[in-house]
């Protein structure tokens, strides 16, 4: 593994390609998105890892491949519910799709009182994004039925909680479109819940992003990946709840926990702790475990010795044919 680690092109930490008819390039926290001919998006899922809205200093081998392949499989498994933006997955780290105008909201759906919702609840709040939360709940308890708690999608800074009423009132999304987004969100979450259950997992909460092209709504970005969703192991869930124990999670929460233990939560004046080769390798192993548990098949590591050359070639081949 260390041989892979030490090879300069064994991970994608940044790309700076120039494709024919390229009209824009966006560097996100984890993804690089190239716009081609103003109608196609080439999304490269890098091996960068972020937590607390900060990109950590070292890239994680195979992380991009894990996320890209999970997202592609999950999109494929829900395309009977809603059309998605994907046109092709020409490389393990790349998805090419239709350029859509994104809605300025993220559709967050929660089946359980966890994460942000649990923190708000603990602080005494009983309304979240206009949704009334039942009294007497413990962290990680199941809601009577899943609740939708949207957030704004900010270009800079933190996304903010927002209610359905505010979204419609401020014109962020029209009422007709918003009603449709809610329907899609519930249906995709139900499908994700069923798929997770088959793998002995509980889909706790997740977020979906949607966009429009030619007047039609599409599901965009990624879905049901460990970066966009929280999963619990179903086995032992009830027993852990009754004893008031922490739930066993399948997510990147373990990275956040490590950072907290090392006095880093993305606050001003804090320094990101040093990431040793051993820790980086451990994160790789955990992501591969996530893939295999979630998808139910063995993860096949691609040859990453010339990863940037491979990615560029596969994208160029696709663009030349389309």
Let me know how many helices (H) and strands (E) the chain has, helices first: 9, 17
- Tally the C-alpha atoms within 13 A of residue 55's C-alpha that lie toward its C-beta: 14
Question: Would the CATH topology of 2-100+254-321 be identical to that of 102-250?
Answer: no
Give just the sign of the alpha carbon dihedral 234, 236, 238, 240.
negative
d(CA 46, CA 68): 9
Q: Where are the domains of the chain?
A: 2-100+254-321, 102-250
Q: Which among 253, 181, 186, 171 has a CA at the least distance from the CA of 212?
A: 181
In tens digits, what is the pLDDT along the chain, a chain of 322 residues? Answer: 444 444 545 899 999 999 999 999 999 989 999 999 999 999 999 999 998 888 999 999 999 999 999 999 999 999 999 999 999 999 999 999 999 999 999 999 999 999 899 999 999 999 999 999 999 999 999 999 999 999 998 766 667 899 999 999 999 999 999 999 999 999 999 999 999 999 999 999 999 999 999 999 999 999 999 888 999 999 999 999 999 999 998 888 889 889 999 999 888 899 999 999 999 999 999 999 989 999 999 999 999 999 999 999 999 999 999 9
| Predicted model pTM | 0.90
Q: Which residues are CB-neighbours of 173 under 8 A, at least 6 positions away?
A: 103, 104, 105, 167, 181
- Tally the C-alpha atoms within 13 A of residue 127's C-alpha that lie toward its C-beta: 5
What CATH architecture is 102-250? 2-Layer Sandwich (3.30)
d(CA 103, CA 120): 25
Q: Which residues of 224-261 are buried (b: 16+ CB within 10 A; e: fewer)?
A: bbbbbbbbbbeeebeebbeeeeebebbbbbebeebbee
Q: Which fold has domain 2-100+254-321?
A: Phosphorylase Kinase; domain 1 (3.30.200)
Contact between 204 and 110 under an 8 Å Cβ cutoff? The reply is yes
């Amino acid at each position: 593994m260390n041989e892979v680690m030490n090879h300069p092109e064994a991970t994608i930490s940044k790309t700076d390609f120039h494709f024919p008819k390229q009209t824009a390039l966006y560097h996100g926290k984890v993804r690089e998105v190239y716009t081609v001919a103003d109608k196609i998006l080439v999304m490269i899922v890098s091996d960068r890892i972020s937590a607390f809205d900060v990109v950590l200093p070292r890239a994680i081998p195979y992380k991009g491949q894990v996320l890209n392949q999970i997202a592609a499989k999950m999109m494929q498994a829900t395309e009977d519910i809603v059309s998605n933006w994907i046109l092709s997955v020409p490389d393990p780290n790349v998805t090419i799709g239709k350029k859509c105008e994104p809605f300025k909201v993220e559709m967050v759906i929660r089946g359980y009182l966890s994460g942000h919702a649990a923190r708000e609840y603990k602080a005494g709040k009983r309304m979240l994004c206009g949704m009334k939360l039942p009294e007497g709940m413990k962290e990680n308890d199941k809601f009577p039925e899943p609740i939708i708690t949207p957030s704004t999608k900010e270009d800079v800074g933190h996304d903010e909680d927002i209610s359905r009423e505010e979204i419609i009132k401020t014109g962020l999304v029209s009422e007709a479109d918003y009603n449709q987004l809610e329907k899609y969100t519930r249906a995709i979450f139900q499908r994700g819940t069923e798929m997770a259950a088959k793998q002995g997992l509980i889909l706790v909460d997740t977020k979906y992003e949607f966009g429009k092209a030619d007047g039609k709504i599409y599901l965009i970005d990624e879905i049901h990946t460990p970066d966009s969703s929280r999963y619990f192991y179903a086995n032992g869930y009830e027993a852990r709840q009754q004893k008031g124990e922490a739930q066993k999670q399948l997510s990147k929460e373990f990275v956040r926990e490590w950072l907290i233990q090392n006095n880093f939560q993305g606050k001003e004046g804090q320094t990101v702790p040093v990431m040793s080769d051993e820790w980086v390798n451990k994160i790789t192993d955990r992501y591969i475990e996530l893939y295999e548990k979630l998808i139910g098949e063995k993860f096949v590591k691609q040859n990453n010795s010339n990863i940037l050359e491979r990615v560029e070639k596969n994208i160029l081949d696709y663009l030349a044919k389309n």
